[in-house]
Amino acid sequence: MTRDGLIATLGPIRQIAWLTEDLDAATGRWRTFAGIGPWTVYRNVTLEGRYRGRSARVTIDVALSYQDGTQIEIIRPHGRGPSPYHDEGGRVRVGMHHVAWLVQNVAAAKETATKGGLDLLFEAEAGGGATRVAYLQAPDDPAMLLELIAATPATLEGFHTGAEASRYWDGVSAGQELDLSG
């Protein structure tokens, strides 16, 4: 089997994400036990797109920090689904959720991934297109979830400034919080 069509050909993994029901407690644990911070927290992020082929609007709170350039993302979804963040019963899928790649062209990367055998689960955007993502999963293993993140200027700047902040973090300050609800 050649690697053509496999998602790993798109570059290095740039993000590892977890789901939680308590974002503040989760970031506190990461600061205390992993020494990772500071955290930039975005409250009330609305993702508009399609989940399993149907229109979807999902609201989440997101915390971002970095370790050696890899983004650590913690997500607290609102509501009970349907979304890639909830199980069939509407409960949050607490724990490790996905790994992600930054890509120049989400549509082309999606095509590469689906040709490689992955199924499209969710695609959405936020901030008027400033953020665009697609989640893909292995057909026989719904726990294998992979994300494609559009390498927009805003996203690249966020990765750069976040990684720099973590490099010079004092080990004490929690970080900053932004509410996008209004």
d(CA 55, CA 72): 28
pLDDT score for 69: 92
Given a contact cutoff of 8 angstroms between Cβ atoms, the answer to whether 69 and 11 are in contact is: no
Give the HSE-up count for residue 107: Cα atoms under 13 Å, Cβ half-sphere: 0
Give the model confidence (pLDDT) of 34-90 as tens digits. Answer: 999 999 999 999 999 999 999 999 999 999 999 999 999 999 999 997 999 999 999
pLDDT score for 10: 86
What are the structural domains, with CATH classification, of the chain? 7-169 (3.10.180.10)
Distances in whole angstroms, Cα of residue 109 to Cα of each of 22, 106, 138, 144: 32, 5, 15, 17
pLDDT score for 162: 96
Q: Tokens standing for 89?
A: 């019963």
d(CA 117, CA 2): 13
pLDDT at 2 over 80: no
What band does 142 get if pLDDT is binned at 50, 70 and 90? confident
Q: What is the pTM of this model?
A: 0.94
